[in-house]
Amino acid sequence: MNDHETGHDPAGALPPIYDCSTYSPDRSLGLLMRRVLSSVLMEADRRLAEHDLTHAQWMPLFKLLKGCPDSVTAAVLARDLDVDPAAITRMFDRLEAKGLVRRERSTTDRRVVQLALTEAGREVAEKVPPVLVEVLNAHLAGFRPEEFEMLMSLLQRMLANGEAMRARAGGDPA
């Protein structure tokens, strides 16, 4: 068995968490993280449906609300949200038809089309943060603040490990 199969850390810093002979889906961190994310998104979708928003729509609106409006393009949002650029373009077509976003040509580079919330879009997007706060707090019920900080730190470390692994493999580090 090679290092890749066992999950062995070649640097030998710590023993691996998983082992192929004992690995099972009920102890899969990836599956558990996916189920937690799915639970959060399903509940947020349920609560935001009254505003006629789906996850594919409320997340970009939220990013536009919180982001830098003078530099947000469909390509940037597609990358940030890990969505196909063609899919995000179609989604923005729907949001534009609803009167929630508008496309504006960059004043410095006419090839660049920036996205901006309309006033109606801002009103709808401002409904997203309170829903997300409620849903996330409900999922974190019983956590002490220091447990939450530790969870965030551990997840950030896992993300950094994944980025380092992609960088070593010559892939996209971001």
Structure tokens at 33: 């993280």
Looking at residue 68, its pLDDT comes to: 63
Looking at residue 49, its pLDDT comes to: 93
Looking at residue 72, its pLDDT comes to: 84
Cβ(65)–Cβ(101) below 8 Å: no
Looking at residue 141, its pLDDT comes to: 98
State the Cα–Cα distance between residues 99 and 106, nearest whole angstrom: 20
* Residues of the chain where predicted confidence (pLDDT) is lower than 70: 1-12, 68-71, 171-174
What's the pLDDT tens digit per position in 95-112? 999 999 999 888 888 888
Query: What is the residue extent of each domain of the chain?
Result: 29-141
- pTM greater than 0.75: yes
* CATH class (in words) of the domain with range 29-141: mainly alpha
Cα angle for residues 95, 100, 101 (degrees, 5° grid): 75
Q: How many residues does the chain have?
A: 174
Amino acid code (one letter) for 81: L
